Amino acid sequence: MPDSLSRRAFLATLAAPALLPAQQPKKPNIVFILADDLGYGDLGCFGQQRIQTPNIDRLAAEGMRFTSTYAGSTVCAPSRCCLMTGFHTGHALVRGNGNRPPLDEDVTVAEMLKKAGYATGAFGKWALGEAQTPGIPNDQGFDEFFGYYSQTHAHTYYPTHLWRNKTYELLRENRGARHNAYSHDLIAEAALDWMGQVAGRPFFCYLAFTTPHADNELGADTGNGQPVPDFGPYAQEPWPDVEKGFAAMITRMDRDVGRVLDLLKEKGVDQDTLILFSSDNGPHKEGGHSPAFFESQGGLRGIKRDFYEGGIRVPAIARWPGKVKAGAVSEQPWAFWDFMPTACELAGVTPPPTDGISFLPTLLGKKQPQHDYFYWEIAMPSGAMQAARVGKWKGVRKALDQPVEVYDLSQDLAERHDVAQQHPEVVEQVKRVFQQAHVDSDRFPLANGRG
């Protein structure tokens, strides 16, 4: 790996753009609903046949379905960092899982929207900072928080505590052998209560559900790491219990998406609210669950922890009545780091320097500026991986000492045919992106393959 700028030096080279005019006479509410390990093919509107998702399908029918949206990474913490800060993993402070929180040098979308007069609330899985670190949500721009700080703690669906702002809140219903308080339900209730309270002013709600992530530890012990209070409509299906639980988790989440829609209408702010829905990475193979059972990859290659499309291409939907065309389908690619400039443009404020490009023009049916490339990196215990998309070409390097694989996504979305030998010029182009997009990180050094 050639020497690169340090991350701090890279940030110093960036200049903030000029102040943006407000795009709307009234600042819209923004609700970003993030599922956890939901695959590209796990929703009815993306081709799922057996799992029921009528409310999320309604989002798509009443809004825009994106077929080329990319998560920030292939695991949760760096993906969420990209979403919150607007940097891809070649520049982001958090580039892998682990207790390495953001620092004050990074600005979050919540901080920007708070400056624009928004009430800000985060609910669910944070994964960007533990207690007594600078990464906790209340110190990163959120007025209100309820849920899990740690992604490992979030494996547990019947926890003994959750965090409410900076307070350790005991869940006495789950003490001992009792399992009476399901965290997903508590998180949904907290988010709905908060939105109901702040609905009279512009608000940003980041609703980061933990479903359908597995309880990895429970799965290791019992083979069923998809705990849920009941199997709902799947109770009588001739499926393994772990797959009933997986489907029931998604349908339970779908129920609460419907409750968000109902609340917005009840409060009279439905027309003033942009809802975005997506997933933090591709489908998992954990807790006894198999992504093949429901064809969660949607025909794509790879799953969570891969940089093939199945690991990073995620379902995405936008709904904004009267602004986003109902029933629209967009092939426009965008990635999580594009959310920061999009949210700032919606709020009429200057975004900080980021790797993102606002996709508001796409939402409004206007001409969209394009990225030169999309880039991902991660240092895993097994080695460092990099990937880039440049137009129709996708390059993947599974280790720094491995050759670059090349796929033509316009002809081979499933990435079955490596055409690197036929297109050496594309290989060189991808290598240039790998070098250009990476700045060194002391916290997540790519060269030693540990993250």
- Reported pTM: 0.94
CA-CA distance, 15 to 201, in Å (whole number)?
31
Backbone angles phi, psi at 21, to 5 degrees: -70, 150
Q: What is the C-alpha to C-alpha distance for residues 123 and 134, in angstroms, rounded to an integer?
A: 18
Assess whether pLDDT exceeds 50 at residue 449.
Answer: no
Pick the CATH number of 28-371 from 3.40.50.10420, 3.40.50.620, 3.40.720.10, 3.40.50.12780: 3.40.720.10
3-class secondary structure, 106: coil
pLDDT reading at 310 higher than 90: yes
Q: How many whole angstroms separate alpha carbon 437 and alpha carbon 451?
A: 18
Strand pairing report for 29-35 and 203-208: parallel
104 or 168: which carries more pLDDT confidence? 168
* pLDDT tens-place string over residues 297-306: 999 999 999 9
Task: Work out the pLDDT band at 296, boundaries 50, 70, 90.
Answer: very high
Amino acid letter, 91: H
Residue with tokens 């508001």: 360
CA dihedral 417, 447, 390, 5 (to 10 degrees): -170
Please tell me the least confidently modeled range out of 306-315, 386-395, 402-411, 441-450: 441-450
pLDDT band of residue 13 (cuts 50, 70, 90) is low
Each as own residue / partner, the long-range contacts of residues 237-242 (CB below 8 Å, 24 or more positions apart, any chain) are 239/293, 240/288, 240/293, 242/287, 242/288, 242/289
- How much is the pLDDT for 106? 82
In which band, very low, low, confident or very high, does the pLDDT at 23 lie, cut at 50, 70 and 90? very low
Q: Map out the domains of the chain as residue ranges.
A: 28-371, 375-437
Between CA 322 and CA 113 the distance in angstroms is: 23
HSE-CB at 359 with a 13 A cutoff on CA atoms is: 28
Angle (nearest 5°) at CA 257 between 256 and 262: 90
Q: Share the mean pLDDT of the chain.
A: 93
Mean local confidence (pLDDT), 238-260: 98
- The domain at 375-437 falls in which architecture? 2-Layer Sandwich (3.30)
Per-residue model confidence as pLDDT tens digits over 329-385: 999 999 999 999 999 999 999 999 999 999 999 999 999 999 999 999 998 877 899
Residues 245-265 as b/e (b if ≥16 CB within 10 A, e otherwise) read bbbbbbbbbbbbbbebbebbe
> pLDDT at residue 448 above 70?
no
Q: Predicted confidence band at 4 (pLDDT cuts at 50, 70, 90)? A: very low
CA separation for the pair 185, 192 (Å, rounded): 11
> For the chain, how many residues are written?
451
DSSP string spanning 342-365?
Answer: HHHHHHT-PPPS-S----HHHHTT
**92-98 long-range contacts, Cβ below 8 Å, gap at least 24?**
93/7, 93/441, 93/443, 94/128, 94/443, 94/444, 95/377, 95/378, 95/379, 95/441, 95/443, 95/444, 95/451, 96/378, 96/379, 96/380, 96/444, 96/451, 97/127, 97/151, 97/451, 98/451
Q: Check residue 267 and report its DSSP letter.
A: T
pLDDT at 3 over 50: no
Q: What mean pLDDT comes out for the span 200-220?
A: 94
Is residue 442 pLDDT above 90, yes or no? no
- pLDDT, residue 239, reads 98
Q: What is the mean pLDDT of residues 253-266?
A: 98
Strands (DSSP E) found in 84-166: 119-125, 144-148, 161-164
Q: Say whether pLDDT at 24 is over 50.
A: no
pLDDT (average), residues 52-76: 98
Model confidence at 10: pLDDT above 80: no
The per-residue pLDDT for 14 is 65
Q: What is the pLDDT of residues 95-108, one digit of tens each?
A: 988 767 666 678 99
CA 159, 164, 167, 173 dihedral sign is negative
pLDDT for the residue 101: 67
